[in-house]
Amino acid sequence: MSRLKDKTIVLGVSGGIAAYKAAEIVRQLVTRGANVRVMMTRNATEFITPLTLQTLAQSPVATDTFNLTQESQIGHIRLADSADAVVIAPATADIIAKAATGIADDIVTTVLLATQAPVAFAPAMNVHMYAHPTVAENLAKLKARGVTIIEPAEGELACGYEGKGRLPDPAYIVEELERMLSSHDLAAERILVTAGPTQEAIDPVRFVSNRSSGKMGFAIARAAWRRGAQARIVAGPSSMATPYGVERVDTVSARELLNETSRNFPWSTALVMAAAIADFRPTHPAEHKVKKNPKGLALEMESIADEMPRIAAKKGNRILIGFAAETQNLETNARDKLKRKHLDLIVANDVTQEGAGFGVDTNIVTIYGIDGAAENHPKLTKDEVADLILDRMIALRARKSKSRPLRAVR
C-alpha cells in the first residue's frame, strides 16, 4: 500500500514553463490514493489553468490569498494546517529566494511560512540560473532548515540550453514524497540487494538463463531507500528501471554477479540475495555461433561454485537474507539452504502457485529464520513483501544489537 494513501499533499506550482508537468504530478498522487490540494502563484496560471489542476485533483485550487470565495472554502491557514506534506514543483529561483528569506506575498509563500508539515522543493530553471551562487545559497538555507531539495534533472531545457535545470520526473517527485512520509527506521543501514536472472553463454548469440524478472529484488531496494537506507542493487540482465535513489551495478553472468556482490559486500550492513543465480553453465562455450544441426545439440554443463559460504564467513554483524524458489518440498529445501548458506533468514516461495511465480507483481512467501521460526504469508504485492522482509531485518538487527551494536563496516 502506498505511503501516500489518505495523506493530504499540498502542491505549490510556481511560474515556470515546467508548470504544465504539475498535471502529471497531481495525477500520480491521486493514483496513489493521496488527497491533493493545489495552490498556484499568479505567474503559474499563465502556464497552466487552475481548472486543469482542479479537475485532476477534484478539489478547488488556491490562487489568491485574499479571494473571499477561496478563503471560505480553503483558507491559507487551513491549507497549511491540513497538509501532511508540501511540495513546490516547479520551484523557480524567485520562489526559492522568497522561501529562503521568509517573504510571504502570495498564497504559496504564505502557506510555506504557516505550515508545520515537511516541505520539499523541486527546482526547475535555466541552467545558468540554477548554477548562480545566490540560488545555491538559498537552496542551502532551505536544506539547513530541513527542507528536502529534489535535485533537477539534466537535459535539454525549454530555453534552448542543455544542462542541469529540468524539473525532475514527476514519478521521482512522488517517490520523494513517499520517502518523506515513511518511517526512516533503516537510516543506519546500507543494504545490498541482488536481483534478476543471470545468463550463461552457449555461444556468442545464445545463452542459458531463467525466468526471473528482478521485480522482487528491485522492490526490496526501492522499499529500503524509501525507509531511509542507502540501497545498492547488483542486477543481472533485467529490463526493470532502476528505482529512484538506488545505485545500480549491472552484470550478465553468474560469475560477474557473484564477483560484484563480493566486491560490494564490505560496503553493506545487510545483504539480500534475491537474484536467481544460475546453478550450472555450459562447460565449453563456443567461440562462434553453433550452426543448426539435424542431430541436435548436446550441452555439457558444469556446476557453478556456491559463493555464499565464503561471503558469510566475513559477515561480522551484517544480516544475510536469501531466497528459495522451489517447485516441491518447500520447507525442507528452504531450511537446508538457510543452514548451508549460513543465512539469518530465507524467503521461500513455490513458483508453481498462481501469483507466486516469476514476472508477476505478487508473491506468496514463507519466511524461515535460523531460530526455527516460520511465517506463512498470503498473496501480497511484491512491494508489500519487500516491507515484510525489511521489518524482519529490523527485528533481527534489534536482537543482534543487544549483544553487539551496529557500527560502520569498512
Rounded Cα–Cα distance for residues 125 and 88 (Å): 13
Quote the distance between the C-alpha of residue 252 and its chain's center.
22
Burial 55-70 (b: 16+ CB within 10 A, else e): ebbebebbbbbeeeeb
Rounded Cα–Cα distance for residues 70 and 124 (Å): 28
User: Could you confirm whether 82 is annotated as catalytic?
Assistant: no
Q: What is the DSSP string of 179-248?
A: HHTS--TTTT-EEEEEESB--EEEETTEEE--S--SHHHHHHHHHHHHTT-EEEEEE-S--PPPPTT-EE
Calculate helix-pair angle for 170-180, 215-226, nearest 10 degrees.
Answer: 60
Residue 22 neighbours by CB distance under 10 Å: 27
C-alpha cell at position 204: 556468442
Largest Cα–Cα distance in the chain? 85
* Residue 367 DSSP code: E
Rounded Cα–Cα distance for residues 165 and 169 (Å): 12
Catalytic residue among 1, 131, 159, 301: 159
Q: Which residues are catalytic?
A: 159
